[in-house]
Structure 1
Amino acid sequence: MTGARIVTLGETMGLLAATTVGHLQHVPHMALGIGGAESNVAVALARLGTPVTWIGRVGADSVGDRVVRELTAEGIDVRAVRDSGAPTGLMLKERLPGGAVRVWYYRAGAAGSRLAPEDIDARLVGGVRLLHVTGITPALGESAAAAVSYAVDVARAHGVTVSVDVNYRSALWPPERAAPALRDLVARADLVFAGDDEAALVTGCEPTARTPDELAAALTALGPATAVIKLGAEGALALVDGALHHRAAVPVRVVDPVGAGDAFVGAYLSELVAGADVKQRLDTAALAGALLCTVPGDWEGMPTRAALDGWTGVSDVLR
């Protein structure tokens, strides 16, 4: 497992998504799928041709079967521990009137929170090109936090690049607990992704007191050589070895924005391990994130290389 392979780890849950617009109390049907930030990134990587392994823990239940089946079908090397003592977590997605999307999580005590250091294959992690983790997993509990820390330690000991997406979830932990833990994780990374609000949380800045450029600099001051700030409709910027690079967003008609950040990260990492320069990384990431937003679902719309190469920017009928 060498070369361009990437390893990621974290919780993937069952996803029940409303099939029509409206509050859940009025929606008659929901569709079953799966979702999780790290596995979303893994799907993005696999579809772009980058070898990827996902490590996680799911329940010994039918939803866990669904997680393993879907990720395996995407060409991901799945290393899933089946936990008979805890269920696979669930999340519910509703499409609110006006276009907003709300997600409800039911993950406390679920199998993903019981991910442990012994679930991590040190030989695997130590022999790949890059390890990608997020700030979600450490928030799930002490065991999951220890698993992330162990994986990062192994990667650093073997010279493996460590990528961190801050991915702060206020529903999982308050900012006063999250900030020091996330700051420590970022300080051990080579590359960090964050929204401007997340960068402010990690660096202790007021969100409106610093420009995105200044927030990127504050992140790299913690240790990473590269900081990428995701700005949604305003695009993105990367501070790489002291040089700033800006990228405008790609305008599209948004259908479902959930997972756009994961598409962006996956595409950036795919280009990184392929040896692309910063401009190409940002160009591919911006387009991947935009195209993901045009398809319902957290990961179903992750583009392939062919989709990226064939994108014209117009809604043509293809015959």
Structure 2
Amino acid sequence: MEKTLEVVTFGETMVLFNPDNIGPLRYANNFSKSIGGAESNVAIALAKLGHNVGWFSKLGNDAFGMYIKSVIMGEGVDVSRVGFDEERKTGIIFKERFQHTNPNVYYYRQNSAASHIGVKDLDEDYLKSAKILHITGITPAISESAREAVFKAVEIAKENNVIVSFDPNIRLKLWKLNEAKEVILKIAEKADIIFPGEDEGKKLLGTDNPELIADEFIKLGCKLVVVKLGEKGCYVQSKDEKIYVEGYPIKRVEDTVGAGDGFAAGFLSGYLKELSLEDCAKYANGVGAMAVLVRGDMEGYPDIEQLESFIGITESVDR
């Protein structure tokens, strides 16, 4: 089949309510409505960078489900495989923000429409049409059926020479560490590209040393390991290359949620363009840095002109 998509991804996206004020959630009276979901974040960031991307999930057949589909479609992502559940509702997430710290998040997603996604919701031809399947460790955490869907999607990808990209994205509000570790390492064994953070290396492998993290994932079978180092940048390792790439320091951070998803999208964008690993990492660091400048999960993702100006490839013309 002709490959019409560059990247396909799937997982739960929720309606996000972000308080207009900083402080405990119980004192927040006004909220801004947006969307939040790791996989849709990656899809939107890639679409903004000019790539042909597909995202699918199950949404409640309600106002929030319609809203999510509309927003993601409006950002240029193919949503033709999104399904609607007549019985279950769309999930909701609230943020609680404090000055200069990562926000707390509160999920209202138990028994949501997306938690009932399963193998039956996979369109094999759609998955086969992509160059890259991107998955995260969040989807297998939301239900047993979603976990089965992730493993089946990976199996389809591997059988059809589709590259598997994996962000562990450990969420301990969704499952216990022992269970997360077992499942995530099984997925990692089948991943071609993996995006662990230092803290995830510590939880999964017992080390936060970027080079040791990379060594272990290479041993598991990953071909390319990209260790996220926050504002310090990242460490990239393949069989033939090892490189640290400095990040782009940000003086005023508005919101860190979504930065890791933007980072993954930036790297995949460079990878699809067949750039060097160093340039892929610069793209990744750039998108991740730009994401934290704006409040919201995906609102800060740049287009390609903005990204290349930010990382110094081109000069911007402001007026």
For 1:275, the equivalent position in structure 2 comes to: 274
Where 2:286 maps in the other structure, the secondary structure is: helix
Residue by residue over 1:192-232, the C-alpha shift from the partner in whole angstroms, topping out at 9 and shown as x without a partner, is 111112123333x2x35xx2111111111111111111011
| Partner secondary structure for residue 284 of structure 1 | helix
Equivalent position of 1:169 in the other structure: 171
Q: Distance in 2 between matches of 1:28 and 1:171?
A: 25
Q: Out of 199, 202, 211, which is 2:201 matched to?
A: 199
2:21 counterpart SS class: strand
The offset of 1:113, in angstroms, is 0.8
Identity of matched residues, %: 36
Structure 1 stretches lacking a partner, 5+ long: none
Q: 1:10 aligns to what? A: 11
| 2:249 aligned residue | 251
Q: Which residue of 2 aligns with 1:212?
A: 210
Structure 2 match to 1:229:
227
The structure 1 segments of at least 4 consecutive aligned residues displaced by more than 6 Å after TM superposition are none
Q: Distance in 2 between matches of 1:44 and 1:152?
A: 22
1:264 — aligned with what?
263
Provide the secondary structure at the position in 1 that maps to 2:220: coil
Report the Cα offset of residue 307 of structure 1. Answer: 0.7
SS of match in other structure, 2:236: strand
**Corresponding residue SS for 1:129:** strand
Match of 2:150 in 1: 148
Q: Give the Cα–Cα distance (whole angstroms) in 1 for the partners of residues 232 and 200 of structure 2.
A: 16
- Tell me the CA shift for residue 4 of structure 1: 5.8
Give the match for residue 114 of structure 1. Answer: 116
| SS of structure 1 residue aligned to 2:15 | strand
1:8–1:53 CA contact under 8 A, matched in 2: yes
TM-score of the two chains, using structure 1 as the length reference:
0.94
Separation in 1 of the partners of 2:299 and 2:107? Answer: 20
SS at match of 1:220: helix
Matches for 1:1-319 after TM superposition, within 5 Å: 2=3, 5-78=6-79, 79-203=81-205, 205=206, 207=207, 211-252=209-250, 253-311=252-310, 318-319=318-319
- Residue 99 of structure 1: CA displacement? 4.3
Matched residues, number: 313
- Post-superposition CA distance 1:146-178 (Å, at most 9, x none): 111111110000011001100000111111111
Deviation of the 1:310 alpha carbon: 2.5
Give, in angstroms, the shift of residue 309 of structure 1: 2.4
String of CA shifts for 1:257-287, please: whole Å, max 9, x gaps. Answer: 1100001000111111121110110011101
Q: Quick one: which amino acid aligns to residue 300 of structure 2?
A: G
- Give the 3-state SS of the residue equivalent to 2:261 in structure 1: helix
CA distance in 1, matches of 2:59, 2:27: 30
Change beyond 3 A, Cα 1:306–1:28: same
TM-score by length of 2: 0.94
1:241 deviation in Å?
1.8
How far did residue 312 of structure 1 move? 7.2
